[in-house]
Amino acid sequence: MPRQTSAVFDSPTGKGNLEEATLKHALETLMDPLNVAIDTISDQKIRDVFKLLCEISPETRRLATERLLIDKSQKRVVSESGSGSESESGEEDDAEDKNHEDHDPPSSVTAAAPSHLKRQISRYARCENCGKEFDVTTNTSKSCTYHPKDCEPTEEMYVDMYDGDDFEVDSPEMREDFPEHFMFWCCQSTLKDNPEGCKIGWHVAVTESPKKKKRSTWYR
């Protein structure tokens, strides 16, 4: 049965009912059982299902390849001179770096056919400095804001005002409740005043498993 749309334009302009219909559609999409399942299951289960779909569906694998993989030559890395940037192929692009953040990635990156990817690598990585995921094709010398050192509790946090020997001063809960009492010694600012970072630079891809990562990034 075709969807009834005439009621959407009952008003002279149709704008009010159109917005209501759009909102209703958005709510229906949000409450779709599959969307609810995707939003509630674990990350590992999502990965398992996605890998299975890529194995049994050539179209799914093609779409995933287009969106998640790039050719290694498209990866932007800092040049040996430290100024500007260059691709993995070694071609420098100082001028491009200045305006790269304000533009979308080249269409050849977003729509490249899988057959064009001769040296496939992941398009997305997690930064070991700021803990955020980033696109390696748009990485620049101003992409990452971070603290070189993690914050530590100040002396005020060690005042004996809690009972029990198992009390932990430096914990995610304490950082969230008392951010003003955690100091970044790299810049002498507190977690409350400057949670993002005091340094700006390139994103650096994590080279180890996130489970082994020692640097705390929970507050990002």
Q: What is the pLDDT of residues 25-41, one digit of tens each?
A: 677 666 788 888 988 99
**Is the pLDDT reported for residue 162 higher than 70?**
no
**Is the pLDDT reported for residue 167 higher than 90?**
no
At 90-122, the pLDDT tens digits run 544 444 444 444 444 433 333 334 555 578 899
**Between β-strands 85-87 and 69-71, what pairing exists: parallel, antiparallel or unpaired?**
unpaired
The pLDDT-based confidence of 8 (bands split at 50, 70, 90) is very low
| Sign of the CA dihedral with 194 first, then 199, 203, and 205 last | negative
Give the length of the chain.
220
DSSP 3-state of 185? coil
